[in-house]
Each structure stands twice: as C-alpha cells, then as structure tokens.
C-alpha cells in the first residue's frame, strides 16, 4: 500500500467507526431497557428514536459543511479563514443544540405522540416522553460530540476522534447497566446514561484543542452572514 492510500485509509476507517459508534447508543439503550425494564419500555425507546435521529441529522449539516470549507481554506493556506469556518460551525451547532434541547424537553409528550405514542397505552406514552425529555436534556453534548469528532479528524487526529466516540460508547454501556440494574432508574436511567456518555466523549475530543495539537483553535468570532 502506498503512502497516499495508507493516509486515506487512516481517515476513512476512523470516520466509519465513529458513525458506527454514534448509532450504537440507541441500540445499547434498547438492549438494556428490553432486558432490565421490559418490552413496553423497549417500544417506548423506539418511539423516541425518530426525533433523536432528526435532531442529529439537522445538526450534522454544520460540521459537514464547515469541514468542507475548512479543508478548502486550509488548502489555500488561509488559516484564519479556516478557523473562522470552524468556529462558525461550532457556534451554529451550539445554538441548534440549545434550541432542540428546549423543544425536546418542553414538547416531549407532543413529539412522541406525533411519532405514534398517542395510539399506545398511557404507560408507554409516559415512558416514551420521559426518555425523550431526559435524552433532550443532553442535546448539547450529544450534538457537540458529533461536531467535534468531525473537526478533530480533519485537523489531523483521526485516531483521537475515533477514541473519543468509543470512550462515550463504553461509558454508555457501563452506565446503562449501572442505572438500570443496580440503581433501578428504568428508562430514565438509559437516557441519562446516553447523555453522560456523550459528555465523556466531548471531554476527550476537546483535549485536541486544549493541547493545541492541530491548526484549528477555539476562540471567539463574529459571525459572517455569507459564511453561515
């Protein structure tokens, strides 16, 4: 394998692995909820998944588009412009996270009803709303982990990007077990475990910028309309 192909694989496989780990959260929640709470709770989790997937898809526009602009500007040796695009994507993701957190928490019952919970038992409706409520409370780390993983990877640390996502997934598995079985927190425990897993992921990814390992820096910027 030549150097270019080896370098390409060094970015492709961590990117694929990161996406795999991202969608593992809901699968793991489903397994633990199904085993520890029951089939009704498993159904409730799945009722909340469409909105969660929608939220991730909307927020993913900013790092994906931003990473493209960053790459183009880096290729032009425009480091200031690249960092402007990076911080614009971070700012927009953060703003979207706050908005979706408010919507998900305030309208959790209405959202799950639209997803089909209105036709189910009161118990399942409540569990689905509870899961979405607590999951939405962690919208900021949930969406920021996805955003940061893209930029850490593109800033020359694909391995750290993958490790960050894996740390979150492993923490989620352990916390799912801890909150559902020993603590008996039920479906709420699964949602909180997923959220805390994302917090660990964000902390690992932020180390790339704290340690100044790459060319992108965290700083305050003034948003430009055309770039947005």
Report, as an integer, the average pLDDT of 184-205: 94
Give the pLDDT score at 27: 79
Report, as an integer, the average pLDDT of 171-200: 93
Q: pLDDT tens, 69-119? A: 999 999 999 999 999 999 999 999 999 999 999 999 999 999 999 999 888
From CA 62, how far away is CA 154, in angstroms rounded?
14
From CA 58, how far away is CA 96, in angstroms rounded?
9
User: Which range among 19-28, 137-146, 160-169, 196-205 shows the weakest confidence by mean pLDDT?
Assistant: 19-28
From CA 2, how far away is CA 16, in angstroms rounded?
21
From CA 171, how far away is CA 34, in angstroms rounded?
19
Give the pLDDT score at 154: 87
Maximum C-alpha span of the chain = 60
From CA 11, how far away is CA 95, in angstroms rounded?
28
> pLDDT-derived band of residue 121, with 50, 70 and 90 as boundaries?
confident
Report, as an integer, the average pLDDT of 11-39: 79
Report, as an integer, the average pLDDT of 36-43: 88
Contacts of 115 (CB under 8 A, 6+ apart): 47, 48, 50, 51, 128
Give the pLDDT score at 42: 87
Give the pLDDT score at 44: 87
Q: Pick the most confident of 30-44, 74-88, 210-224.
A: 74-88
- In 3D space, the residue among 104, 102, 124 whose CA is nearest the CA of residue 52 turns out to be 104
- Going from the C-alpha of 104 to that of each of 57, 86, 141, 158, 228, the distances in angstroms are 15, 26, 14, 31, 24
Give the pLDDT score at 198: 93
Report, as an integer, the average pLDDT of 122-149: 93
Using alpha carbons only, give the angle 152, 153, 156 rounded to the nearest 5 degrees: 90
Across the chain, mean pLDDT equals: 90
Flag whether pLDDT at 25 surpasses 80.
no
Give the pLDDT score at 84: 95
From CA 105, how far away is CA 124, in angstroms rounded?
17
Token pair for residue 72?
Answer: 């183009």
Q: How many CA atoms lie within 13 A of 204 on its CB side?
A: 25
Flag whether pLDDT at 131 surpasses 90.
yes
Which run of H or of E encompasses 98? helix 79-106
Q: pLDDT tens, 4-24? A: 777 777 777 777 877 777 777
From CA 119, how far away is CA 107, in angstroms rounded?
18
What is this structure's pTM? 0.89
Give the pLDDT score at 199: 96
Give the pLDDT score at 8: 77
């Amino acid at each position: 394998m030549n150097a270019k192909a080896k370098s390409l694989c060094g970015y492709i496989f961590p990117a694929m692995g990161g996406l795999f780990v991202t969608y593992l959260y809901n699968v793991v929640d489903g397994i633990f909820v199904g085993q520890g709470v029951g089939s009704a709770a498993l159904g409730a989790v799945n009722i909340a998944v469409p909105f969660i997937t929608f939220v991730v898809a909307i927020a993913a526009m900013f790092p994906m588009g931003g990473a493209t602009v960053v790459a183009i500007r880096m290729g032009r040796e425009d480091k200031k412009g690249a960092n402007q695009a990076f911080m614009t994507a971070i700012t927009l993701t953060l703003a979207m996270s706050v908005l979706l957190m408010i919507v998900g928490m305030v309208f959790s019952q209405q959202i799950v009803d639209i997803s089909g919970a209105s036709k189910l038992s009161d118990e399942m409706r409540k569990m689905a709303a509870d899961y979405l409520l607590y999951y939405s409370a962690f919208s900021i780390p949930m969406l920021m982990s996805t955003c940061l993983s893209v930029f850490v990877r593109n800033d020359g640390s694909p391995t750290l990007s993958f490790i960050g996502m894996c740390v979150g997934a492993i923490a989620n598995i352990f916390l799912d077990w801890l909150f559902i079985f020993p603590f008996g927190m039920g479906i709420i425990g699964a949602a909180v475990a997923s959220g805390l897993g994302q917090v660990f992921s964000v902390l690992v990814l932020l180390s790339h910028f704290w340690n100044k390992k790459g060319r992108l820096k965290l700083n305050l910027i003034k948003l430009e309309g055309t770039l947005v």
